[in-house]
Amino acid sequence: MRTVRIAFYRGADSFKESLRKYTSGYSRVEIIVNSKIYSITPKDGVNIIRKTYDKDKWEFIDIEVQNTFIMNKVQRFLDKQVGKKFDYFGATLGQWLGLGFQDENKWYDVELITKFLQYCLIDKFMDLNPSKMSINKLKNLLEENTTK
């Protein structure tokens, strides 16, 4: 069994993040798998970063992935996404308009994390369209699926 941590940022480091925070309470989401932090930002796209978290600005939800084989396979999926660009168009259509446009070469944070959770076979995420997900919907589903 492996623990995956989803980190929700309550701060805002840019005007665009301020808009997103205003609509959802959070400006971005990151995922931590096996001590690797996968960050998906408009500036850097999908990237593995190193940092420490300010617990006053970040909220965390931990989930348990039961199958180690699946976990290793899904982490390889995440690693293959590193370097892909941020999906402005998909994020706008998906989160605010609910249209669900997916570009195979671009991701926005909630979309990639939802796809990761689907590959982990977490029931609440299996029938969802990752391109239509919002930060609030992701957080609510994770809270329903886990205990803090």
What residue spans define the domains of the chain? Answer: 2-145
Smallest Cα–Cα separation from 31: which of 23, 19, 21, 41? 41
Quick one: average pLDDT of 107-134?
A: 91
Residue type, 89: F
pLDDT at 98 over 70: no
Q: What value does the mean pLDDT take over residues 76-95? A: 81
SS (H, E, C) the chain: CEEEEEEEECCCCCHHHHHHHHHHCCCEEEEEECCEEEEEECCCEEEEECCCCCCCCEEEEEEEECCHHHHHHHHHHHHHHCCCEECHHHHHHHHHCCCCCCCCCEECHHHHHHHHHHHCCCHHHCCCCHHHCCHHHHHHHHHHHCCC
Residue 146 pLDDT exceeds 70: no
84 neighbors 106 (Cβ within 8 angstroms): yes
Architecture of domain 2-145: Alpha-Beta Complex (3.90)
Residue 147 exposed, middle or buried by CB count within 10 Å (0-12, 13-18, 19+)? exposed
pLDDT band at 101; cut points 50, 70, 90: low
| Per-residue model confidence (pLDDT) at position 1 | 64
* Residue in the structure block whose two tokens are 């249209």: 99
**What's the CA gap between 148 and 136, in Å, rounded?**
16
2, 48, 75 from 35: Cα distances, Å:
11, 10, 11
Indicate whether 90 pLDDT > 80: no
Q: The whole model's pTM is what?
A: 0.88
Over residues 16-71, the pLDDT tens digits come to 777 777 777 888 899 999 899 999 988 899 999 999 999 999 999 999 988 888 99
How much is the pLDDT for 23?
74
